[in-house]
Amino acid sequence: MAFSFLVYTVADRVATITLNRPEKRNALNGQLVAELREAFQAAAADEAVKVVVLAGNGEAFCAGADLDYLQQLQKNTYEENLTDSRELMQLFREIYELDKIVIARVEGHAVAGGCGLVTLCDLSYAVPEALLGYTEVKIGFIPALVAVFLVRKIGEGRSRELLLTGKLVTADKAAADGLITAVVPAAEIGAHVAKVAMSLCKEASANSLKVTKKLIGTVLDLPLGEGLLHASELNAATRGHEDCKRGIAAFLNKEKLTW
């Protein structure tokens, strides 16, 4: 699969999507957004893929919107900007709702839309040197799309601090706020992410991961009673799934099961 601005590879049931504009600090533009959508759709459709890793080549994970791209947006009509915004919206939603686990490997700064990409991932690991944040308000813009997901992820209070101040925070602060999963030294992060991905591939049912991820993404939208009813229905349905039958049989027979 050929791309201009990213690299897509699959090995050992892990698809790795690597932003590949190091000379532009992996900044986003219309073409990169389109390529990201295509890559995530390819991973979604590939039955051999169980986990997706999102990374960036070069010094930055992603510096947000490309400067040339920002200049072009100033010339667009409202309708053109709405169409463009909805393309990014679709990318964000496709990552968030992907029925496979997405892990961010953040080996450099993640700013604005770049930090938005990190926000969408199920798990994320960053090097200590990385700074993360949503700087949109500092250029008269707004972190509109990411706000929808960030509030769900870390709550209103911490979201207000990050989105309204526009300040960049350290990886340690991001981890403390729940924005990322953990901080990992640069020399270890590649191996660490690979180990997490392989653990998910070998030690967890694909169906269980898919259903659990979907439940986490929908339960906040439901009143407590409806959420519990929905959860009980998923619970009952999962008991009849072949993965559950295999898993329980292996557990009862004290057999090691590799998924």
Task: Give residue-wise pLDDT tens across range 174-224.
Answer: 999 999 999 999 999 999 999 999 999 999 999 999 999 999 999 988 999
Judged against a pLDDT cut of 90, whether residue 256 lies above it is answered with: no
Say how far apart CA 62 and CA 173 lie, in whole Å.
19
Strand partners, 131: 170
User: How large is the average pLDDT for residues 76-94?
Assistant: 93
Q: Which residue type does 161 have?
A: E
pLDDT at 1 over 80: no
Measure the CA–CA gap between 99 and 111, rounded to whole angstroms.
26
CB atoms near residue 158 (< 10 Å)? 16
Binned at pLDDT 50, 70 and 90, residue 58 comes out as very high
Residue written as tokens 């400067």? 67
Tokens of 5: 């601005």
- Confidence at 70, pLDDT banded by 50, 70, 90: confident
| Token pair 């590799």: residue | 258
Q: Which residues are catalytic?
A: 136
Give the list of residues 6+ apart from residue 145 with CB closer than 8 angstroms, or none. 85, 88, 89, 92, 116
Query: Residue 181 class from Cβ within 10 Å (0-12 exposed, 13-18 middle, 19+ buried)?
Result: middle
Q: With a cut of 90, say whether residue 73 has pLDDT above it.
A: no
Rounded to an integer, what distance in angstroms lies between the CA atom of residue 228 and that of residue 230? 5
Does 116 have pLDDT greater than 90?
yes
Rounded Cα distance between 255 and 104, Å, is: 32
Task: Find the mean pLDDT for residues 219-239.
Answer: 93
- Answer whether 114's CB lies under 8 Å from 62's CB: yes
> To the nearest whole number, what is the mean pLDDT of the chain?
95
* pLDDT score, position 250: 87
Confidence label for 255 from pLDDT (cuts 50, 70 and 90): confident
Residues 6-200, CATH architecture? Alpha-Beta Complex (3.90)
Provide the whole-model pTM: 0.94
pLDDT at 66 over 90: no
Band (2; pLDDT cuts 50, 70, 90): confident
Percent of the chain having pLDDT more than 90?
86
Distance CA 7, CA 16 (A): 8
Q: What are the Cα distances from residue 221, in Å, to 90, 216, 229, 233?
A: 19, 10, 13, 16
